[in-house]
Amino acid sequence: MSAVEAELPEPASKIELPVHLGGGGEIPTFDVTLRVRRYDPEFSEESKWEDFTMTMYGTDRVLDALHKVKWEQDGSLSFRRSCAHGVCGSDAMRINGRNRLACKTLLKDLDTSKPITVEPIKGLPVEKDLIVDMEPFFQSFREVMPFLVNRDHAPTKERLQSAEERARFDDTTKCILCAACTSSCPVFWTDGQYFGPAAIVNAHRFIFDSRDDAGDMRLEILNDKEGVWRCRTTFNCTEACPRGIQVTQAIAEVKQAILARQI
């Protein structure tokens, strides 16, 4: 990853394009049924399944189907969303029993011959329909000191960091705090006190940053009985991460760092 690369040769002014290019033809449509877990304590303490059937396109995502329900069938269906392309982390939900972002899950990639189940993520209190209370999740995040601590005298320019040092923690900088990992973790489901994978990922991001001086303090925090040692290495978190972060590996690296420090 050198900064001043050799200049690229100028691309050709004109090329022969393959005939098929861009020619996807008609976008296929299909019928799909969403089976959504509904809950609104203002009206009933019971939660229930509700089915909605609609016609969707091959490029549509689960979020598009939820919007179609909300905008055309039942305006009271409630869920969070914002960017709609997998970077803001608002719409993590349990789709066919797996945690995913609704805006990154294409309907055509699911089995549409059966109803698609959509539920709130597990382990956090449900507020209404697919909306959960995120406060406990962010509380754990805040507890791991998720910010750079540097005790040196600040230079007038940037601190130097080699490309290799930067690469060391690249994977865990991708976290969007969607809670898909933490709320897929069986330990977190049974023990709400467990920090959970996302908080550990964010601690990892700083522990392995060459500019940071508070790694020991974070390792101390995560050496707690509700810390990394609760992890059972089930890999649910890694499978759930919509950003492709190797979550379980990050947790393992934090465990190793704690052990190495004790020696």
Partner 1 sequence: MQVHKYDVVIVGAGGAGMRAAIESGQRAHTAVLTKLYPTRSHTGAAQGGMCAALANVEEDNWEWHTFDTVKGGDYLVDQDAAEVMAKEAIDAVIDLEKMGLPFNRTPEGRIDQRRFGGHTRDHGKAPVRRSCYAADRTGHMILQTLYQNCVKHNVEFYNEYYVLDLLTVDEEATREDGTVYLQKKIAGVVSYDLATGELHIFQAKSVILATGGAGKVFKTTSNAHTLTGDGMGIAFRKGIPLEDMEFFQFHPTGLAGLGILLSEAARGEGAILRNSEGERFMERYAPTIKDLAPRDIVARSMANEVREGRGCGPNKDYVLLDLTHLEPAHIDAKLPDITEFARTYLGVEPYTEPVPVFPTAHYAMGGVPTNITTEVLQDNDTIIPGLYAAGEVACVSVHGSNRLGTNSLLDINVFGKRAGVAAAEYAKGADWVELPQNPEADTRALLDHIRTSDGGEKVAAIRKELQDTMDANMQVFRTADSLNQVLGDIAGFEERYSRITVQDKGKRFNLDLLEAVELGFLLELAKVMTVAALHRQESRGGHYREDFPDRDDENFMKHSMAYLDSGVTADSSKEHIAGIRLETKPVVVTRYQPMVRKY
The CB density around residue 249, as the number of other CB atoms within 10 Å, is 14
Query: 207 or 231, CB closer to partner 1?
Result: 207
Query: CB of 234: closest distance to partner 1 in angstroms?
Result: 26
Task: Kindly give the interhelix angle for 197-207 and 247-262, rounded to the nearest 10 degrees.
Answer: 60
Query: In the complex with partner 1, which residue's Cβ is closer, 151 or 225?
Result: 151
**From the CB of 245, what's the least distance to partner 1, in Å?**
12
CB 247 → partner 1: shortest distance, Å? 16
Minimum separation from the CB atom of position 262 to partner 1 (A): 27
The residue among 66 and 187 lying less far from partner 1, judged by its C-beta, is: 66
Question: Amino acid identity, residue 34?
Answer: L
Q: Are 35 and 110 in contact (CB under 8 A)?
A: no
187 or 222, CB closer to partner 1?
222
Q: And the tokens for 227?
A: 């810390």
User: Angle at the Cα of 126 (from 122 to 130), degrees rounded to 5?
Assistant: 80
DSSP, collapsed to helix, strand or coil, labels residue 55 as: strand
The candidate with the shortest Cα–Cα distance to 133, out of 63, 191, 203, 183, is 183
